[in-house]
């Protein structure tokens, strides 16, 4: 690096060091009292649509507002891509059009959350500051176009952000029709690999490790002689020969990216809280797309909101894929209720459609699924399909012709029902006997080094999640800082990276009577993504009562295991060959040179027990059997009569249950429950064997 560049980089490092510590000091403390979304919306269930008045003739706005009101809509999200319309030239603002749109909507009882428009900076900003755009791992800067093309570490972009966010906040801070803010749009990647980002990463490393000796030791930079003698030598995981990277550096880079995203969010929330302290702040997040650590990020928000598109799932009766994403989002703010900022309003795609069109009735079932998992508000993406741009195929409730189609009437019906149910729902929340541990560090580390090509961290979560859901059991998703003590069962799949605090927490949990399920690739790495020198499963070996001296990555081969009722289950992906130290064997491998060796064990330890699952099964029955065993021992009741494609999910208020029975299939179903309940919408008592038509929902109360 030449002299002037080095000086610039050093200055930037200082700025970033200061900025970083300042940002940390400004972090909002975790909310103690859950945010009440229904009170926030004046006692009404939030029911809305994402609306883009800037893209439609003003003469249409009144008609839109009337149609919205008739559909029961009382909320819109607006503005998140309208930066150029609000600031057509640097420092010149125009909010008159948005004022007029708000006036029309407010007159029809519709309130708004405004999106800060930073996901789509104006062309003039790129023309003036081309380095705002992201540089890819090859050192090539993307050119203008698309969206989310900004470098989180670029100071000109920060300045432009401060200007537009402050101007919006000042203009709308006392507006009675604006109840809150959405920061940006789906904050997350892309990662930027430019010199400014490199300097920011180096500063982040300096804050974390303090000395180069500590960093070199933590990352094991002695390997291939990659020891750093100065902070400025630390690279990014950009394109290297043979695409080789130090996994410790890569994991820290992922954490850095997540922290930078958080820092950028805080940069905006700090401005908004200062200028507009009475308006709530959220962000539209992305469920299973977890490039950002949602748990960290959400410390800075009043409540969680997220974007749900179940059409992306191949089989629409696979309700639990969306179910898991809902529970990840709820878990990311300690199980507080949340809202949907983009609930699927129609089939979608960009160049090609990515899903099948669903019957309108099924959209209603997904709405209820959101509510059943803790949503106290639903806002559809989008009011009307765009006539322009990349998303001409991404359907809103209405199509471009504004015709009152079947989805519109579905929205109307659902809205009416949700308002009727609001007194019952208000103040209720989700209580689950089971938690699934979602470890951002393990996820990121395994993305970089999956071990076998088809290893999917999400699949590990999903397999166990699905088994509990088939049994009608609510599941919370915990993150490493979550309190686990109240759960009867904790499943921690592929806990590849863990620190001592997490090991201690799981130890205490089991010793105090908890049931823990651990799976293959657990305890492999320390918090620096360095492989343990202890016998696997490393820090969990004592708890699990097993030692692993040999494993078999299943490269396109398939195994099988025998056990849990002497059944044969096909397995795949990985085989840990277990040697019990104190555990008892529940299943053994069926094939190959290690046939007969243990694959699944149970260890009674302290007041609790640990199951260690050495492989992944292709058979849902395997998970059902294992979960049934763990549930029996942990006194968790399962309902094994729920038909496939039907979900039973429960909210609770004051110990009383609100049961949602949701049929995602195209045929009528019978769902036996443990007692007869009252239908909350009709007030009539339902039989114990609940009859539920195709694509329909019943909400039951005690
Ligand atoms: C979301 C995004 C929306 C819209 C939608 C459909 O991820 O937040 O702005 O783009 O997808 O593509």
Q: What is the pLDDT of residues 389-409, one digit of tens each?
A: 999 999 999 999 999 999 999
Q: In what order do the strands lie in the sheet with 646-653?
A: 646-653, 656-663, 697-701, 678-679
| The predicted structure's pLDDT at residue 32 | 61
**Residues with Cβ within 6 A of ligand 1?**
185-186, 284, 307, 342, 348, 381, 391, 394
Closest-lying ligand 1 atom to the alpha carbon of residue 350: 12
Low-confidence ranges of the chain (pLDDT < 50): 1-31
Q: Give the whole-angstrom CA distance, residue 121 versus residue 146.
A: 10
Structural domain 646-701, CATH architecture: Sandwich (2.60)
Instruction: Kindly provide the b/e burial profile for residues 594-605, where b requires at least 16 CB atoms within 10 angstroms of the residue's own CB.
Output: beebbbbbbbeb
Closest-lying ligand 1 atom to the alpha carbon of residue 286: 7
CA of 57 relative to ligand 1 center, distance in Å: 22
| The predicted structure's pLDDT at residue 28 | 40
In degrees and rounded to multiples of 5, residue 453 shows phi and psi of -55, -40
The whole-angstrom distance between residue 593's C-alpha and the CA centroid of its chain comes to 41
H-assigned helices in 373-456: 406-425, 440-448
Q: Give the whole-angstrom CA distance, residue 699 versus residue 683.
A: 10
CA of 659 relative to ligand 1 center, distance in Å: 31
Kindly tell me the sign of the dihedral angle through the C-alpha atoms of 415, 288, 522, 250.
Answer: negative
Q: With beta carbons less than 8 A apart as the criterion, state whether 322 and 358 touch.
A: no
CA of 284 relative to ligand 1 center, distance in Å: 10
List of long-range contacts for 85-90, beta carbons under 8 Å, 24+ apart? 85/54, 86/117, 86/164, 86/167, 86/168, 87/122, 87/163, 87/164, 87/167, 88/122, 89/124, 90/124, 90/125, 90/128
Host H or E run for residue 561? strand 559-563
Helices vs strands, H then E, count in the chain: 19, 26
Q: Is 563 left (phi over 0), alpha (psi -120 to 50) or beta?
A: left
CA of 344 relative to ligand 1 center, distance in Å: 10
Q: Whose CA is nearest to atom 9 of ligand 1?
A: 185
Please, where in the chain does CATH 3.20.20.80 lie?
Answer: 7-204+258-425
Contacting residues for 48 by C-beta, under 8 A, at least 6 apart:
73, 74, 75, 76, 77, 110, 377, 378, 379, 380
Q: With beta carbons less than 8 A apart as the criterion, state whether 58 and 98 touch.
A: no
CA of 111 relative to ligand 1 center, distance in Å: 21
Closest CA to 452 of 545, 571, 544: 571
CA of 21 relative to ligand 1 center, distance in Å: 33
Please, where in the chain does CATH 2.60.40.1180 lie?
Answer: 646-701
Q: What is the DSSP letter of 557?
A: -
Q: Give the whole-angstrom CA distance, residue 395 versus residue 158.
A: 33
Q: Give the whole-angstrom CA distance, residue 442 versus residue 673.
A: 38
Give the CA dihedral 186, 188, 192, 195, nearest 10 degrees: 110
Which candidate in 285, 291, 342, 560 is catalytic? 342
| The predicted structure's pLDDT at residue 13 | 39
CA of 348 relative to ligand 1 center, distance in Å: 10
CA of 419 relative to ligand 1 center, distance in Å: 27
Q: Whose CA is nearest to atom 10 of ligand 1?
A: 391
| CB-count exposure of residue 90 (10 Å: 0-12, 13-18, 19+) | exposed
State the CB neighbour count (10 A cutoff) for residue 454. 12
| CB-count exposure of residue 406 (10 Å: 0-12, 13-18, 19+) | exposed
| The predicted structure's pLDDT at residue 566 | 82
Please, where in the chain does CATH 3.40.50.880 lie?
Answer: 434-634
* CATH class name, domain 434-634: alpha beta
Q: With beta carbons less than 8 A apart as the criterion, state whether 330 and 341 touch.
A: no
Closest-lying ligand 1 atom to the alpha carbon of residue 80: 9
Which candidate in 186, 283, 344, 560 is catalytic? 186
- Angle 577-581-586 (CA atoms, 0-180°, nearest 5)? 60
Q: Are strands 669-672 and 689-692 parallel, antiparallel or unpaired?
A: antiparallel
Residue with tokens 């519109």: 408
Mutate to test the pocket of ligand 1, among 184, 307, 353 (most ligand atoms within 8 A of CB): 307
Closest CA to 472 of 620, 639, 627: 639
Mutate to test the pocket of ligand 1, among 341, 350, 381 (most ligand atoms within 8 A of CB): 381
Mutate to test the pocket of ligand 1, among 340, 383, 391, 396 (most ligand atoms within 8 A of CB): 391
Q: Whose CA is nearest to atom 5 of ligand 1?
A: 381
Q: Are strands 280-282 and 178-182 parallel, antiparallel or unpaired?
A: parallel
Q: Give the whole-angstrom CA distance, residue 400 versus residue 392.
A: 9
CA of 48 relative to ligand 1 center, distance in Å: 16
Q: Give the whole-angstrom CA distance, residue 437 versus residue 324.
A: 12
Residues paired with 567 in a beta bridge: 563
CA of 210 relative to ligand 1 center, distance in Å: 40
Kindly tell me the sign of the dihedral angle through the C-alpha atoms of 381, 386, 389, 395.
Answer: positive
Q: Are strands 669-672 and 608-613 parallel, antiparallel or unpaired?
A: unpaired
The whole-angstrom distance between residue 343's C-alpha and the CA centroid of its chain comes to 14
Residue 333 CB-half CA count within 13 A: 31
- Give Cα separations from 230 to 96, 185, 209, 365 (angstroms): 53, 37, 13, 57
Q: Give the whole-angstrom CA distance, residue 382 versus residue 48.
A: 9
CA of 505 relative to ligand 1 center, distance in Å: 38
Q: Give the whole-angstrom CA distance, residue 522 versus residue 494.
A: 5
Q: Does the annotation mark 156 as catalytic?
A: no
Mutate to test the pocket of ligand 1, among 78, 81, 147, 186 (most ligand atoms within 8 A of CB): 186
Q: With beta carbons less than 8 A apart as the criterion, state whether 311 and 355 touch.
A: yes
Kindly tell me the sign of the dihedral angle through the C-alpha atoms of 435, 441, 444, 449.
Answer: negative
Map residue 569 onto helix, strand or coil. Answer: strand
Q: What is the CA radius of gyration of the chain?
A: 26
Q: Does the annotation mark 342 as catalytic?
A: yes
CATH number of this structure's domain 7-204+258-425: 3.20.20.80
- Angle 578-584-586 (CA atoms, 0-180°, nearest 5)? 75
Residue with tokens 């000395």: 211
């Amino acid at each position: 690096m030449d002299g002037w560049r080095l000086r610039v980089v050093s200055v930037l490092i200082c700025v970033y060091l200061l900025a970083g510590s300042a940002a940390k000091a400004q972090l909002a403390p975790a909310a103690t009292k859950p945010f009440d979304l229904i009170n926030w919306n004046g006692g009404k269930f939030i029911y809305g649509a994402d609306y883009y008045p800037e893209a439609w003739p003003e003469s249409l706005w009144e008609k839109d507002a009337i149609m919205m009101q008739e559909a029961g809509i009382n909320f819109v999200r607006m503005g998140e891509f309208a930066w150029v319309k609000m600031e057509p030239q640097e420092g010149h603002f125009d909010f008159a059009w948005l004022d007029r749109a708000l006036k029309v909507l407010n007159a029809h009882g519709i309130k708004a959350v405004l999106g800060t428009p930073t996901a789509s900076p104006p062309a003039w900003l790129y023309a003036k500051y081309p380095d705002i755009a992201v540089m890819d791992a090859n050192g090539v800067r993307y050119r203008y176009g698309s969206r989310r093309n900004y470098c989180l570490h670029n100071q000109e972009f920060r300045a432009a952000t401060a200007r537009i966010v402050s101007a919006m906040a000042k203009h709308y801070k006392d507006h009675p029709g604006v109840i809150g803010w959405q920061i940006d749009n789906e904050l997350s990647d892309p990662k930027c690999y430019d010199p400014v980002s490199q300097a920011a990463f180096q500063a982040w490393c300096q804050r974390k490790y303090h000395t180069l000796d500590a960093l070199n030791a933590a990352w094991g930079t002695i390997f291939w002689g990659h020891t750093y003698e100065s902070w400025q030598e630390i690279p990014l995981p950009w394109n290297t020969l043979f695409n080789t990277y130090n996994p410790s550096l890569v994991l820290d880079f992922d954490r850095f990216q997540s922290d930078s995203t958080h820092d950028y969010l805080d940069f905006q929330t700090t401005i908004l809280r200062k200028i507009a302290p009475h308006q709530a702040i959220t962000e539209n997040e992305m469920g299973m797309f977890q490039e950002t650590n949602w748990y960290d990020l959400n410390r800075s928000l009043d409540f969680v909101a997220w974007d749900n598109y179940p059409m992306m799932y191949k089989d629409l009766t696979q309700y639990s894929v969306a179910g898991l994403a809902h529970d990840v989002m709820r878990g990311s703010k300690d199980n507080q209720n949340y809202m949907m900022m983009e609930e699927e309003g129609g089939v979608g795609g960009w160049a090609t459609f990515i899903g099948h069109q669903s019957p309108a009735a099924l959209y209603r079932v997904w709405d209820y699924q959101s509510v059943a998992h803790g949503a106290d508000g639903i806002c559809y993406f989008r009011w009307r399909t765009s006539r322009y741009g990349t998303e001409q195929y991404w359907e809103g409730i209405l199509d471009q012709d504004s015709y009152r189609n079947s989805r519109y009437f579905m929205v109307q019906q659902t809205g009416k029902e949700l308002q009727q149910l609001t007194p019952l729902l208000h103040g209720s929340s989700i209580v689950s006997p089971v938690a699934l541990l979602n470890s951002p560090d393990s996820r990121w580390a395994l993305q970089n080094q999956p071990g076998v090509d088809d290893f999917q961290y999400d699949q590990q979560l999903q397999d166990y999640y699905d088994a509990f859901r088939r049994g009608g059991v609510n599941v919370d998703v915990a993150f490493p800082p979550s309190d686990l003590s109240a759960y009867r069962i904790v499943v921690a799949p592929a806990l590849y990276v863990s620190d001592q605090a997490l090991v201690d927490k799981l130890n205490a949990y089991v010793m105090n009577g908890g049931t823990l399920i651990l799976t293959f690739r657990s305890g492999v790495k320390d918090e620096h993504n360095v492989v343990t020198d202890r016998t696997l499963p490393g820090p969990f070996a004592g708890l699990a009562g097993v030692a692993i001296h040999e494993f078999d990555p299943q490269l396109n081969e398939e195994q099988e295991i025998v056990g849990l009722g002497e059944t044969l289950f096909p397995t795949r992906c990985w085989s840990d060959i277990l040697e019990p130290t104190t555990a008892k064997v529940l299943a053994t491998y069926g094939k190959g040179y290690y046939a007969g060796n243990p694959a699944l064990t149970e260890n009674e330890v302290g007041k609790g027990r640990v199951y260690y699952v050495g492989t992944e099964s292709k058979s849902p029955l395997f998970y059902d059997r294992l979960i049934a065993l763990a549930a029996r021992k942990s006194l968790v009741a399962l309902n094994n009569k729920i038909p496939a494609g039907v979900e039973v999910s429960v909210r609770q208020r004051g110990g009383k249950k609100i049961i949602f029975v949701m049929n995602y299939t195209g045929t009528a179903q019978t769902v036996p429950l443990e007692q007869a309940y009252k239908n909350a919408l009709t007030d009539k008592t339902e039989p114990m064997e609940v009859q539920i038509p195709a694509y329909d929902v019943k909400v039951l109360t005690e």
